[in-house]
Amino acid sequence: SVDASLYLGRKKGEIPVGKIKLKERAPDFTLMDTNGEKFRLSEWKGKKWIYLVLNRGFAWPYTKKHLMQLHQDMEKFDDKDTIIVNVGPEDRKTFEEVWIKNGFSFYGLGDEKKEVLKGYGQDVKALKLGRMPAQMIIDQEGILRYIHYGTSMQDIPENHEILGILESFGTD
């Protein structure tokens, strides 16, 4: 069983001020997806688990690597009744170009104003050249069940770790 209060890369209980919290409702948001459709988080309540990935931008190699890994493991997430939602600081058009070029089938949401990224507490560290990656698991009731704030650009949990956490929550 996974201790969902464990924040990888941080000591237990060490949550930066203003961050979202486990076992609380995930803040709702609406962004345009790569198809020009509105994606509203709350519309998934009662339907699917959500693996929410906040990336640091397409220019970073670890972002590209992680997106490709997510693409390769899409079926495994589908088997866990989980959709993947990637949010990044670029505009919708840039997301659309990247999604078409790579054939991604999970959700890609541009947050050019960075409102969702800030609302979910994505850190910006000048000494580490920008935004730190962050990942969350949101259950079918819209409750945050897992939160990971990366401490460096490569601090991204592997898919098998996330899939194991989903399994521990009984998503099979």
Judged against a pLDDT cut of 50, whether residue 136 lies above it is answered with yes
The position carrying tokens 């990888």 is 8
Reported as a single tens digit per residue, the pLDDT across 69-118 is: 999 999 999 999 999 999 999 999 999 999 999 999 999 999 999 889 88
Judged against a pLDDT cut of 70, whether residue 139 lies above it is answered with yes
Helices within the chain (DSSP H only): 61-72, 74-79, 92-102, 115-119, 159-168
Neighbours of 133 (CB within 10 A): 26
Reported as a single tens digit per residue, the pLDDT across 2-59 is: 333 333 344 443 334 346 889 999 999 999 999 999 999 999 999 999 999 998 888 7
**Among 63-67, 97-101, 127-131, the least confident range:** 127-131
Number of H helices, E strands in the chain: 5, 9
Contact 131, 117 (CB under 8 A): yes
pTM for the full predicted model? 0.86
2 vs 162, more confident: 162
pLDDT tier, 126 (very low <50, low <70, confident <90, very high otherwise): low
pLDDT at 108: 96
pLDDT at 46: 94
Q: How far is CA 109 from CA 35, 36, 170, in A?
A: 10, 10, 27
Q: Per the structure block, which two tokens stand in for 101?
A: 């070029």
